[in-house]
Amino acid sequence: MQHVALYPGSFDPVSKGHVDVAERASRLFDEVVLGIYTGDEVADKRALFSPEERKQYAIAALAHVPNLRVEIFTGLTVEYAREVGALTIVRGLRAVSDFEHEFKMAHMNRHLAPDIDVVCLMTSSQNSFISSSFIKQVALLGGDVTGLVPDVVVDALKQKFGTASER
């Protein structure tokens, strides 16, 4: 029996931190599904990129990982985990501040689906300060995000916001 893990998130945009966690998860599980949550039901976050764009960027960034596939989903994460046959949900932790949120989410998921476990992977230290929100803010203000996100995302952000020299 293959052990499938779901790595869910908005990935708006996918960062080097996301890539790091996905690569490491791929070494622990037979198959990893990187699930891009559309967020259509949650009004507190507005996505910069469409789900299809986020999928395209994640596929490009993780093409070198043979046992990983990228999908788009909506609804409850635990229901999608069941749909793809995942027994584990993978989450990344950057700092103590992430822990409290992930802890609460893990307990809610456990309440909803006691048969699905949550595994948290600590991000590599060089990625611990990276968040998609910071990436978007820096890019919007014309800052250089090279090295923080895959090259395909650097190009997409330049197209979306332009560069400081173009302003």
> What CATH class does 4-125 carry?
alpha beta
Assess whether 132 carries a catalytic annotation.
Answer: yes
Indicate the domain borders of the chain. Answer: 4-125
Assess whether 64 carries a catalytic annotation.
Answer: no
Cβ neighbour number for residue 32 with a 10 Å cutoff: 28
From 3, 45, 101, 107, the catalytic residue: 45
Assess whether 24 carries a catalytic annotation.
Answer: no
How confident is the model over 71-93, as pLDDT tens digits?
Answer: 999 999 999 999 999 999 999 99
Assess whether 26 carries a catalytic annotation.
Answer: no
How confident is the model over 98-153, as pLDDT tens digits?
Answer: 888 889 999 999 999 999 999 999 988 888 888 888 899 999 999 999 999 999 99
From 16, 18, 54, 91, the catalytic residue: 18
How far is residue 76's CA from residue 126's CA, in Å, rounded to a whole number? Answer: 31
φ/ψ (deg, to 5) at 51: -55, -40
